[in-house]
């Protein structure tokens, strides 16, 4: 390592499937390390295994990183560098460190001695050479293998720190031997401990952990997933909620834990709720609008007609109970125009007395001077008084008429956000329902 060099790190995914939580965390740690040290974050697509790499997976990786907000400074595809890999392979042959067999080119592991990885997180890990086997560096179709291409590229790209998952610690002694055979200085290594499921087995789909973009689908905010991934194996005192700027300011390798991290879905939902509540209402309203359309709760024209301010106000109400954008969108119908069906199990609320009161209320609401929560409250109280009905009889009927549900945020706030036009139309429609 050359400690004074500006930091250059890379995230090097193999595009053979979706970018999952573990890959997302590796990408984030590298990005944070680069940004913290004002270095360079490189994205290297390791597509040397041409039978398993797909363009779709590459697109997914780009989309996942963009969604997480992890911008890269340089991007490479390993397949573009095959000529260079072959050139270095020839050099290894010249130096007597590689030999041909069965059409493939093999790297010769020295017989004697041992290699020690001085890992910044795992500590010193020593492997006796007798435990290692010679390895293929060029397949018989002349494509390079991972351990070899990785060394050539890390060297050529001036990588100062290799930060990657602990599952690669086994590869590192072989990679160090290749550096040595070429007379190259290796980078520093930091192998980040594994992520386990709550049952302490290696994290998998079985634990509900999906791809990065699955979390977007499920209504998790990128702010929340970034925060969650950062805390999967890194900590700063007992702080749980971090903005991106705080993470950049605070993240460094000494804060990375040396024991495995446990993936806790409940904590992700908790963080998401925290982030929903911290978000600027208009930004949240815009996200909510997209989600409403995406989930078919209403069409784009309806959402646009409602306007940004209304969506922002609805979002502020919905985020009190909603833990995800999906939950919020699925409860947004009351705030958008159009009829709301009355649930069968609430029909008992609509007695003839109540319906008579609703009819009057619809007219009053249509003429409301003060369409605030307070104005709606006053109107409801007046109508209840005039009709000799307790508010606790009228209010639930109004709630069901406007929202289709017996539960939700504070009724008068709901009415104020829905607005007089929607409220009057729905109260009037409920008053027409004939129960007899
Ligand atoms: N392509 C490897 C992977 O996706 C990257 C390993 C490394 O970072 O060196 O696991």
Return the structure tokens found at 292: 């409403």
pLDDT tens for 84-111 read 999 999 999 999 999 999 999 999 999 9
Task: Say how many Å lie between the CA of residue 215 and the centre of ligand 1.
Answer: 23
3-state secondary structure of 314: helix
Task: Report pLDDT for 209.
Answer: 81
Its sign, for the CA torsion 131, 144, 90, 142, is positive
Quote the CA–CA distance of 125 and 260 in Å, as a whole number.
17
Ligand 1 pocket member 164 (CB < 6 A):
yes
Q: Is the pLDDT of residue 319 over 80?
A: yes
Does an H or E element contain 432, and which?
A: helix 420-432
Contact 28, 230 (CB under 8 A): yes
pLDDT at residue 3 in the model: 55
**Residue 171: CB within 6 Å of ligand 1?**
no
CA of 223 to the centre of ligand 1 (A): 25
Burial class, 133, CB count within 10 angstroms (exposed 0-12 / middle 13-18 / buried 19+): exposed
**Ligand 1 atom closest to Cα of residue 167:** 10
Torsions phi, psi for 298 (to 5 deg): -155, 165
pLDDT band at 62 (very low <50, low <70, confident <90, very high): very high
What value does the mean pLDDT take over residues 211-220?
97
Q: Please give the full DSSP string across 245-303, using - where no structure is assigned.
A: HHHHHH--GGGB-SS-EE--HHHHHHHHHHHHHHS-HHHHHHHHHHHHHHTTSS-HHHH
**Between the CA atoms of 89, 90, 94 and 96, what dihedral angle is there, to the nearest 10 degrees?**
30
Residue 47 has pLDDT above 60, yes or no: yes
Helix (H) or strand (E) holding 221: none
Which residues make up each annotated binding site for ATP? 205
Neighbours of 357 (CB within 10 A): 24
Mutate to test the pocket of ligand 1, among 77, 168, 189 (most ligand atoms within 8 A of CB): 168
Q: Determine which residue's CA is closest to atom 4 belonging to ligand 1.
A: 13
Q: Is the CB of 153 under 6 A from ligand 1?
A: no
Over residues 56-84, mean pLDDT: 97
Q: How far is the CA of 330 from the centre of ligand 1 (A)?
A: 39
Whole-number Å distance between alpha carbons of 191 and 169: 6
Name the residue at shortest CA distance from atom 5 of ligand 1: 12
Diameter of the chain measured on Cα atoms: 101
CB of 419 within 6 A of ligand 1: the answer is: no
The residue whose CB lies within 8 Å of the most ligand 1 atoms, and thus the one to mutate among 8, 13, 45, 174, is 13
Using the mean position of ligand 1's atoms as its centre, give its distance from the Cα of residue 280 in Å: 37
Confidence bin at 2 (pLDDT 50/70/90)? low
Backbone φ, ψ for residue 188 (5° rounding):
-80, 150
Q: Which of 146, 154, 165 for a ligand 1 pocket mutation test, highest count of atoms within 8 Å of Cβ?
A: 146
Ligand 1 pocket, 12 CB below 6 A? yes
Alpha helices in 300-419 (DSSP H): 300-306, 308-318, 325-330, 352-366, 373-386, 391-403, 411-418
pLDDT at 205: 82
Q: How remote is the CA of residue 169 from the centroid of ligand 1, in Å? A: 11
| Per-residue model confidence as pLDDT tens digits over 323-353 | 999 999 999 999 999 999 999 999 999 999 9
pTM of the predicted structure, to 2 decimals: 0.94
Q: CA 225 to CA 92: how far, in whole Å?
A: 43
Does 434 have pLDDT greater than 70? no
Q: Compute, in angstroms, the gap from residue 267 CA to the centroid of ligand 1.
A: 28
- Would you name the residues annotated as active-site residues? 205
Q: Tell me the average pLDDT of the chain.
A: 96
| CA-closest residue to ligand 1 atom 6 | 12
Q: Tell me the residue length of the chain.
A: 436
Q: What is the pLDDT of residue 436?
A: 46
If phi > 0 it is left, if psi is from -120 to 50 it is alpha, else beta; for residue 325 that is alpha
Q: Note whether 407 and 370 are within 8 A (CB).
A: no
Residues of 228-250 as b/e, b for ≥16 C-beta within 10 angstroms?
A: bbbbbbbebeeeeebebeebbeb
Element (H, E) at 155: helix 146-156
174-214 pLDDT, tens digit per residue, is 999 999 999 999 999 999 999 999 899 988 888 878 899 99
SS3 177: helix
15 C-beta closer than 6 A to ligand 1: no
Would you say the CB of residue 119 lies under 6 angstroms from ligand 1? no
Cβ 174 under 6 angstroms from ligand 1: no
Count of C-beta atoms within a 10 Å radius of residue 361:
28
At 333, give phi and psi (nearest 5°).
-50, -40
As given in the structure block, the two tokens for residue 111 are: 């017989």
Q: Is the CB of 168 under 6 A from ligand 1?
A: yes
């Amino acid at each position: 390592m050359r400690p004074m060099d500006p930091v250059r790190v890379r995230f090097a995914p193999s595009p053979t499937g979706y970018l999952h939580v573990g890959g997302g965390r590796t990408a984030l740690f590298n990005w944070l390390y680069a940004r913290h040290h004002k270095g360079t974050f490189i994205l290297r697509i390791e597509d040397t295994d041409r039978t398993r790499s797909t363009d779709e997976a590459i697109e997914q990786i780009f989309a996942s990183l963009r969604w997480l907000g992890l911008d890269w400074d340089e991007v490479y595809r390993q397949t573009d560098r095959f000529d260079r890999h072959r050139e270095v392979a020839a050099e290894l042959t010249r130096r007597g460190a590689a030999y041909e067999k069965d059409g493939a080119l093999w790297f010769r592991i020295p017989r004697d001695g041992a290699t020690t990885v001085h890992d910044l997180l795992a500590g010193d890990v020593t492997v006796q050479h007798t435990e290692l086997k010679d390895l293929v560096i060029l397949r018989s179709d002349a494509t390079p293998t991972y351990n070899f291409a990785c060394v050539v590229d890390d060297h050529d790209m001036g990588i100062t720190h290799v930060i990657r998952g602990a599952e690669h610690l086994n590869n590192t002694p072989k990679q160090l031997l290749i550096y040595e055979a070429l007379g190259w200085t290796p980078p520093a290594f930091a192998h980040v401990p594994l992520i386990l499921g709550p049952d302490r087995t290696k994290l998998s789909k079985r634990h509900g952990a999906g791809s990065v973009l699955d979390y977007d689908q499920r209504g998790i905010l990128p702010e929340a997933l970034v925060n969650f991934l950062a805390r999967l194996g890194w900590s700063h005192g007992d702080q749980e909620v971090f903005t991106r700027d705080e993470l950049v300011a605070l993240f460094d390798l000494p804060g990375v834990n040396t024991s495995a991290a446990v993936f806790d879905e409940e904590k992700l939902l908790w963080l998401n709720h925290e982030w929903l509540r911290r978000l600027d209402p208009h930004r949240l309203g815009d996200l909510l609008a997209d989600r409403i359309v995406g989930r078919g709760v209403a069409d784009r024209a309806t959402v646009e007609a409602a306007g940004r301010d209304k969506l922002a106000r609805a979002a502020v109400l919905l985020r009190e109970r909603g833990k995800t954008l999906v939950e919020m969108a699925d409860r947004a119908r009351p705030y958008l125009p159009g009829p709301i069906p009355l649930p069968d199990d609430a029909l008992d609320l609509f007695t003839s007395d109540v319906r008579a009161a609703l009819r009057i209320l619809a007219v009053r609401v249509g003429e409301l001077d003060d369409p605030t929560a307070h104005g709606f409250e006053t109107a409801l109280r007046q109508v209840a008084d005039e009709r000799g009905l307790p508010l606790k009889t009228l209010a639930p009927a109004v709630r069901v008429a406007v929202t289709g549900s017996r539960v939700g945020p504070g009724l008068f706030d709901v009415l104020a956000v829905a607005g007089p036009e929607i409220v009057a139309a729905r109260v009037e429609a409920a008053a027409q329902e004939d129960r007899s």
